[in-house]
């Protein structure tokens, strides 16, 4: 059975997504909507990391239940950069790139949750299926948020 491998990959991918959301939140802290919503969405991924680690024990995987943390130096540099650049110029293009990155990562996590849900159905593991269903729904909301922000921002940023 290879479910432990999927859980390990999902753990890594959710950690990456959480870090990406936190970094985008800090890079664009002058855009209050992006800053606050990205932080909220990161909280979901961080919770997913904990829940995956707990479930993975049943499949012989020893995963760290604590999500990765960003270094203080990196956060300080990003804070100052965000303050200096504000909302205009290269930061606007950076916003699109960042949203695209979130969309891409969250889409990959979504596929992993879907594979895990299919496997859980196949082995009739109701707890695993419940975890995959609940977390997948939140991941789909992360995807939709990034997609909506891309649609909302693209024309103005790329045409102006």
Give the DSSP letter of residue 87: T
**CATH code for the domain in which residue 43 is found:** 1.20.1260
> How confident is the model at residue 76, as a pLDDT?
52
| Dist. CA 57–CA 2, nearest whole Å | 13
Q: What is the residue range of 31's domain? A: 3-159
- What's the token pair of residue 71? 């270094």
Q: Residue 156 has what pLDDT?
A: 87
Residue 90's pLDDT is: 72
User: For the CA atoms of the chain, what is the radius of gyration?
Assistant: 17
Cβ-Cβ contacts under 8 Å for 112 (sequence gap 6 or more):
6, 9, 10, 13
What's the average pLDDT block by block, 10 residues per block, for the chain (160 residues)? Answer: 93 97 93 95 98 96 86 51 52 91 98 97 97 98 97 89
Domain count, the chain: 1
Nearest to 32 by CA among 71, 82, 93: 82
Note the pLDDT of residue 2.
92
User: How many residues in the chain?
Assistant: 160
Q: Specify the pLDDT at position 79.
A: 53
In this prediction, residue 70 carries a pLDDT of 59
């Amino acid at each position: 059975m290879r479910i432990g491998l999927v859980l390990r990959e999902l753990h890594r991918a959710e950690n990456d997504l959480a870090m990406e959301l936190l970094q985008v939140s800090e890079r664009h802290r002058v855009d209050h909507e992006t800053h606050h919503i990205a932080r909220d969405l990161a909280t979901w991924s961080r919770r997913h990391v904990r829940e995956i680690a707990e479930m993975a024990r049943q499949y012989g995987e020893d995963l760290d239940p604590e999500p990765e943390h960003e270094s203080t130096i990196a956060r300080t540099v990003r804070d100052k950069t965000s303050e200096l650049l504000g909302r205009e110029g290269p930061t606007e293009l950076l916003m699109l790139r960042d949203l695209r990155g979130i969309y891409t990562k969250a889409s990959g996590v979504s596929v992993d949750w879907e594979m895990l849900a299919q496997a859980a159905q196949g082995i009739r593991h109701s707890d695993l299926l419940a975890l995959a269903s609940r977390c997948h729904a939140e991941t789909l909301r992360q995807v939709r948020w990034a997609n909506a922000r891309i649609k909302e921002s693209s024309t103005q940023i790329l045409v102006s």
